[in-house]
Structures are given as structure tokens and as C-alpha cells.
Amino acid sequence: MPLGVRIFLVYFLFVGLAGWFVLSTVMDEIRPGVRQSTEETLVDTANLLAEILRDEVKAGSLQQSRLPALLQAYGQRQPKAQIWGVEKTQVNHRIYVTDVKGRVLLDSTGAAVGQDYSRWNDVLLTLRGEYGARSTKEDPNDPDSSVMYVAAPIRDGAQIIGVVSVAKPNRTLQPYIERSERRLAWLGGGLIVLGLLIGALLSWWLSAALRKLTRYAQMVSAGQRAELPSVRGGELAQLAEAIERMRTELEGKAYVERYVHTLTHELKSPLAAIRGAAELLDSEMPAVQRQRFVANIEQESARMQQLIERLLHLAQVEQRQVLEEQVAVPLRALVESLLQAQMARIEAADLQVENTIGAQLSACGEAFLLRQALTNLLDNALDFTPPGGLIRFSAVAGAGQMELRVFNQGEAIPDYALARVCERFYSLPRPSSGRKSTGLGLNFVEEVMQLHGGTLHIGNVEGGVEVILRLPGG
């Protein structure tokens, strides 16, 4: 299972369980919280009524007062109030008053006048001087039919002369409880989803950064060119830099070791030839023969110099991971300058050269490297084209890509060599001299193409050999 998925699952379980626990706890507290607030309001209302009713209860004139009519009118009122999106169309308080013995003197519903309520907790506890309250179901089989009663003592000085109780059905509170539960459920669910979304984005970001670093390490271990990925975050950025430093150090050590072995191996032959010629020059010999050995020394020295220079150029390209610049390079002008530089050699061999590249065509890349690559291709074409032969440069552009073709008339590349012509130090004998080159030219061209994100293809065509370079268009 990917690391990002595992991180998200752990985060999902943590956020989900924590959100569910908090949400369920708060939901469980809504109902009792609303009822506690309602009870506190009933307490205030009961104590206010106790002060209002004191004189009538003390005088025994409660039934003859205006209060029964006022309570009846109160019960018929229709507030039409909008409370938190819930319309309140009727009043719900029930108010009854009892004497010191618990007998009902006044009931806003008119149903309990004269009844003995002395055993109900609201009246019983209040007459004892305690806090009197009760919750009674109107229907024993309906848990939502409970009614909350809160009582307050009616006092004459320190003496309790009666009790006033205020009741409110709990079902009238249910719309507000349900509304609060719905809002809390939506808000809580939204917060949980938002938290999970943030966790998913965090896991995706972390996984993407790790995938970039993993892909980079895999490409480096496979010997491919790879640009250090851009990752943000302190530890991840430090990890990327550490991997890059490790790659540089390891590649540097391996690179130096490989090139030392290569250079040592390739220099053995010219050094042996130079040493042999030098030993022979110490002895007496005809001037013609001496001149031949001197020429051999010069030729092998030039070969060593060429080998070292090309190895240095190749090393510079191979060590680079990205281009130093990317500009539009006009191909026709570039080829024309190369042909002018080789004009003496072209005229000496009486070669025909065609440059059919359009003046408007250009490739996107580093001008110096592209020039070096085309120089190597032109050198090869000049080496393998017979006197009077044809060399042709052409190019086509399309879909953001440039295709440059270099054709040279001459013998076809043998089948056994086609797959190896780009190998380092592999070379075919030149038709004119029978000698081999350093075998680094085409390898250098291939490295330049890879650095540019392009490709190199070499194949036999009718009448000769054609090299195709595919590059990003300018």
C-alpha cells in the first residue's frame, strides 16, 4: 500500500473518530441544554407571578380578581413569532396556583380547580421550603409527552401561604432542538469532510513529492539524465538536496574511474607507436625512412590530442543534467557556417553539398552543443563520402518538433555495425585511409540529443547513409 494512502487512512481514522466523538457528545448535550435553559426561564416566571399573586392569595380573593380572565385571554393569544426559523403560533405555558394545603385555587386551563395537588413534587417540595420541580408525562406511552413544572412559593413575610407553578410541554421545545441538531450535524459533517479533504491533499502532496524523489533516484541509478525535482517543505527539500549531493559524489567517483581506465586503454596504442618510432630514430637510417617515422609520431600525437579533446567534450556533456540555455538556433545559418569552415576539404574532394534547410527553420536548444554535434556529423560525412559524392542537409518542422537530416553518398553501413555505431570508441575504417577514428563523435551527438530531449537515428538509405536528428522546434 502506498505511503500516501497509509497516511490518509490514519488521518481519516483519527479525524473521523475524533469528529464523531465530539459531534455525538455535543448532540447529546443539546436536548438537556435547551431544557435547562427553559427551566431557568420557568423559575424566573414563577417567582415573578408569586409576587404578583401574593396580595390576592393572602386576601383570599384570587377567584374574584381579574386574574382568571387574564390567564384565559393569555391562553388564547397567537404570537406569530419567528424564532430561529420556527414559527410560534400559540402560547404554551400552563399556570396554576394552590393554597397552603396544596388545593388548586386557579388554573389557566380551568381543568384542575379544586383538586388536591399536594402530592405533586412541584407543590410538595415548595411547601416544604425546597426547590419544587417535576416532569410528568401526559401519556405514559409517549416519551415526548412530558411536561416540565417549576413552582415558586407565595410568601407573606416568612410564611408560605401558597404555591404558583408554571408548566411548559417539552414537545414545544422539540423544533428548536431538532433545528439545532440539524445545523450542528451539517456543520460538524462539513468540518469533518473539510478535515478529510485537507488530509487527502496533504497526503497527495507528500506522496507526489516522494514519487518525484523516487523517480529521480531510479533514473539516476539507471544512468539516465534526470533533473532534480522541485519539492517544497523543509525536510523534503533537504532530502532532495542530500540525494543530489550523493548522486554528484557517487557519479563523480565512478565517472573519474571509468574515464581513467578508458583513457589509459585508448592511449596505449598511440603511445606505443610513438615510443617505437622514437627508439628507431636513435639509429642510423635513410632520410626518407626517418621522415616516415617523424610523420608517424606527428600523426599519433594528433590522434592523442584529438582523443583527449573529444573525451573532455564528451565528459562535459555527460555530466550535465540540463541545458544552460534554450534559444532558437537558425539551422540554415548554422550549417552554412560549418560548410564554410570545411570548404577547403570539400573542394579538395570535389564534393557536392546541398543545404535545403529553410531560412525560417530553427531548433530550440543550446547553440554551442548543437554546433559541436553537427560538426561531428559533417566530419563523418566528409570521411565516408567518396570523391565527387553528395552531402545533403535538409529539415522539416511540425507539431513543435524539428527533424534535421544529413545524407551522405557512399557505401552502406554493415548490418553488424548499425547497432554499434554510437557506442563509445567503436569506429569503422575510413575508406580513404583505412584508419579508424576515436569512436567518440557519434556518441557525443547522441549525448547532445538526449540532453536536448531529442533522438538520434542512423540508417542506410538508397545511395548512402542518412542521419536523422529530432529536436524540439524553435
> Any bridge partners for residue 88, and if so which?
81
Instruction: Record the cell numbers describing residue 224, joined without a space.
Output: 539516465
| Model confidence band, residue 212 (pLDDT cutoffs 50, 70, 90) | confident
Tell me if residue 322 falls in helix, strand or coil.
coil
Cβ atoms of residues 420 and 344 within 8 Å: no
Residue intervals of the chain classified under CATH 3.30.450.20 are: 3-178
The predicted pLDDT at position 35 comes to 78
CA distance linking residue 13 with residue 70, whole number of Å: 60
Report the pLDDT value the prediction gives residue 9, as an integer from 0 to 100: 73
Question: Is residue 22 within 8 Å of residue 195, measured between CB atoms?
Answer: no
Query: Which residues in the chain are classed under CATH 3.30.565.10?
Result: 323-474
* Residue 1: Cβ-neighbour burial (10 angstroms; 0-12, 13-18, 19+): exposed
So what's the pLDDT on residue 301?
78
Q: Using alpha carbons, select from 94, 99, 96 the residue that is nearest to residue 60.
A: 99
Q: From CA 335, how far away is CA 370, in angstroms rounded?
A: 10
Helix axes 234-281, 174-221, angle to 10 degrees: 10
Percentage of the chain modeled with pLDDT above 90: 22
Mean pLDDT on 424-439: 73
Using the predicted structure, report yes or no on whether residue 163 has a pLDDT greater than 70: yes
Burial of 450 (0-12, 13-18, 19+ CB in 10 A): middle
The predicted structure's pLDDT at residue 389: 93
Query: Residue 270 and residue 264: Cα distance in Å, rounded?
Result: 11
Segment 79-98 mean pLDDT: 79
Q: 338 and 374 in contact (C-beta within 8 Å)?
A: yes
- Interval 453-463: pLDDT, tens: 889 999 999 99
Judged by phi (left if over 0) then psi (alpha if -120 to 50, else beta), residue 167 lies in beta
- The pLDDT of residue 129 is 92
Comparison of pLDDT for 256 and 197, the residue scoring more: 197
Sequence-separated (6 or more) residues with CB below 8 Å from residue 282: none
Q: Which amino acid is at 93?
A: H
pLDDT at 68: 81
Return left, alpha or beta for 439; rule: phi > 0 is left, psi -120 to 50 is alpha, else beta.
Answer: left
- Asked whether residue 257 carries a pLDDT value surpassing 60, the answer given is no
In whole angstroms, what separates CA 143 from the centre of its chain? 53
**Does the structure show a pLDDT above 70 at 408?**
yes
Quick: pLDDT tens for 309-331: 665 665 555 555 566 678 888 99
- Answer whether residue 111 shows pLDDT above 90: no
* Local confidence band at 97 (pLDDT 50, 70, 90 cut-offs): very high
**388: pLDDT confidence band, cut at 50, 70 and 90?**
very high
pLDDT for res 441: 74
Contact 39, 93 (CB under 8 A): no
> What is the average pLDDT value for the chain, to the nearest integer?
80
Stretch(es) of the chain classified as CATH 1.10.287.130: 225-321
Band of residue 391 on the pLDDT scale cut at 50, 70, 90: very high
CATH number assigned to the domain covering 3-178: 3.30.450.20
Question: Which tens digit of pLDDT belongs to each residue from 121-149?
Answer: 999 999 999 999 998 888 888 877 888 99
Q: Is 98 helix (H, G, I), strand (E, B) or coil?
A: strand
Does 240 score more than 90 pLDDT?
no
- Cα-based angle 78, 81, 87 (whole degrees, multiple of 5): 95
Region 51-78: what's the mean pLDDT? 83
**34, 201, 228, 240 from 204: Cα distances, Å:** 43, 5, 20, 18
What is residue 311's predicted lDDT score, i.e. its pLDDT?
A: 59
Say if CB 422 and CB 314 are below 8 A apart: no
Work out whether the CA dihedral 223, 226, 228, 230 comes out positive or negative. negative
pLDDT at residue 259 greater than cutoff 60: no
Confidence of residue 297 (pLDDT cuts 50, 70, 90): confident
Residue reference for cell 569506429 = 427
CATH classification (class only), 323-474: alpha beta
The arrangement of secondary structure in 225-321, i.e. its CATH architecture, is: Orthogonal Bundle (1.10)
Residue 399: pLDDT band (50, 70, 90) is confident
pLDDT of residue 261: 53
pLDDT greater than 80 at residue 51: yes
> 295 is written with which cell numbers?
610523420
Percent of the chain with pLDDT over 70: 80
Beta carbons of 150 and 165 less than 8 angstroms apart = yes
pLDDT digits (tens, 9 = 90+) for 5-18: 676 677 677 777 77
Residue scoring higher pLDDT (364 or 299)? 364
| R_g (Cα) of the chain, nearest Å | 50
| Residue 452 pLDDT | 81
In the block, cell 552554412 appears at: 336
CB 422 within 8 A of CB 291: no
Q: What pLDDT, on the 0 to 100 scale, is given for residue 426?
A: 76
Quick check: 335 pLDDT over 80? yes
